[in-house]
Each structure stands twice: as structure tokens, then as C-alpha cells.
Amino acid sequence: MRKKLLELISGSLDRFLSPYDSIILLDFPNHSNVGDSAIWLGEMDFFRSKGKKISYVSSIETYNKEFINVYFSRSPIFIHGGGNFGDLWPQHQDFREKLLKDFPDTLIIQLPQSIYFESHHNLNKAINVINKHPNFILLVRDWESFNFAKTYFKCKVLLCPDMAFAMNYKRIMPILNSKNRNKKRIVYLSRTDKEARQKKTLKSTDDIFITDWLHENISKWQLIYKILVRIEKLGSLSTMKLVQRLKIRVADLVAHERLVRGLNILNSGEYVITDRLHAMILALLLNKPVCAFDNSYGKISNFVNTWLKEVKNLSLFKTEEEAIKYIAKHYFPKLELLI
């Protein structure tokens, strides 16, 4: 599965990378959601595997237009992928549209995204910005998003798997080989944010661990990253250039810590139930049987129906109740008693 999807990722991106020695990657996910860190690490590992130098990275908050113009005006700009193309997470869409306005002549590639707009006003705003940019490439990670983008946007649109599948597998292997596997029968990793559908109130038991992966303790690498960001903000452009190499390395360590936290959560059970796309993806990479059900707008089923329909360890459902009944019938009868 992973090998085939990685080949498809290369087929989508290699043509845009080949003319360049260095690239820019923006919208570093400096937050606790493990899924975004998995995507980020896949992006970084992929670019490095192609021999490309990542010259500049930034989060939304630390983005510096002047710095890019002074030092890297000839480099293409890649935007972090995920599930924030639309108006559900407006800060990311606002940043995306700002970039297109700030760099009207630069090649800008949006790495694979799911698309979802609730408001026609916000969609029309995005259409207006995107359709004015002559050199914007939009990669999407499911057929629903592809058809949506082809309907409304004039830019080049490509179908591409999620970048988490481009992670170096060495990041996964220590967890696969650890002794922390299967402490619980079931890990139920359940969304607690605005993408969650209404669900039953379940409680953890000796056999079932119910959690989300948004909570984290501040690590030393996160503190170092904050210090480097402060130096960037207070220093000159030349200082920023000196700090960048170290900041890129520390960002990788921060993201890897978050990935390991998420992998350890998933690895603590024999079976996984989840409505998080990347909990599903990472559990499959850990060779766990997964029962997945949809978030608020069908992101998981859209992705599975595009890429993962033949995966044996994966069962897909529309609702939480259907997923729980299935795993109770096939793996763990006591679970149904908690519904």
C-alpha cells in the first residue's frame, strides 16, 4: 500500500521539483494535532529523498514576505497539505490566499488537501484569488475535492495521496518493535474538535482506551523552537538566515515528537476505532485492524474510496455506532454494551 502511494506522490510532484535545487515550505503546523505533524514529516522526508534543499520554513505566524523576496525569490513555494482548504479552519485559508497575493509570479504548489466550504461568500473569495494567479498548482487527496476544484478553479488540479505516506519508514519502525503494544484491547481515538460528529458518551475501561491526541506537555524542543522564533522576529534578515537552518532541524524534532506520541497511543491497543484520518493512516502503518467512521463532512470516506478500498485491515463506516457494532461483533463483544 505505502509503496504504491509513494510512487503516485512522486508521479504528481517530481515534475515541479526537477528544475530547482531548493524549495520553500510554509505553514509549519506548530500545534498539538499529530496528524499535521505526520503530514509535515512526510513532506520534509519526500523533498530530502529527492535531493532538494529546504531553504526556508515558517508557520503562519512567523511568515516573512521580505525575507523570501531578498534571499529565495527564485525558489518555488510549497504549502503544507492537510484538511484545511476551505472555511472550516479560516486562518489557514486566509494565509493561503495572502501568499497568492504576495507572490503573483511565483510557482506556488499546494500539497495534497481535502476541500470543504460552508459559505458561498468564502468560496467566491477563494475563486477570485486563485483564478487570478497564473502559476498556482493545487494537489487534492480525494475525488470529491478534485471534482470540486475542477468545477470552481482555473488552476492546474492534480489528484495525489496524502503526504504522510511519504514519511521515512524508519520513523515508524521503533514503535512497531516496541514492547508497548496491545496493553488494551481497543484504542478509540475520537475527535473532540469542530470536525467531530455528534457521538455517544463512552468511558475508558480496563480493555478500552478512549482519547484524542490534542493534549501534550511542552517539550524542550518546543521551547527551543519558540526561542528561535523570537530571535527571528527581533533580528535582522541576515540573522533570520543564520537561524533558519537550526530552526528547520528543530521543527523536524518537534514534529517527530508529536508523531511518536500519536504512534504510542495507537500502538497501545490491538484494534483502533477512529474518526481521525491520520489516526487511521498511522494505525494501518502499524498493522492494526482499524474501524474508521466519518468526520463532519465525509473526509475519511472520500479518502478511503479514492485510495484504500482494497486495504484488508480497514473497515469504513458512516457513523460511530456502526463502527462500534462491527468491532463488537467481530473482535470484542463487551464493547457493544457501552453504547
Q: What is the pLDDT of residues 76-134, one digit of tens each?
A: 999 999 999 999 999 999 999 999 999 999 999 999 999 999 999 999 999 999 999 99
pLDDT digits (tens, 9 = 90+) for 272-331: 999 999 999 999 999 999 999 999 999 999 999 999 999 999 999 988 888 888 888 877
Helix (H) or strand (E) holding 106: none
How, if at all, do strands 156-159 and 82-86 pair?
unpaired
Neighbours of 325 (CB within 10 A): 16
The pLDDT value recorded for residue 338 is 56
Q: Nearest Cα to 284, choosing from 176, 163, 160, 161?
A: 176
The cell for 98 is: 495572502
| Domain ranges (residues) in the chain | 2-166
CATH class of 2-166: alpha beta
Q: What is the mean pLDDT of the chain?
A: 92
pLDDT digits (tens, 9 = 90+) for 46-86: 999 999 999 999 999 999 999 999 889 899 999 999 999 99
What proportions of the chain, in percent to the nearest 5, are helix, strand and coil? 50, 20, 35
Confidence band, pLDDT 50/70/90 cuts, at residue 336? low
Q: What's the CA gap between 10 and 75, in Å, rounded?
A: 19
pTM for this structure?
Answer: 0.94
| CB-based burial label for 155 (10 Å; 0-12, 13-18, 19+) | middle
Confidence band, pLDDT 50/70/90 cuts, at residue 197? confident
Average the pLDDT over 167-171 and give the result: 93
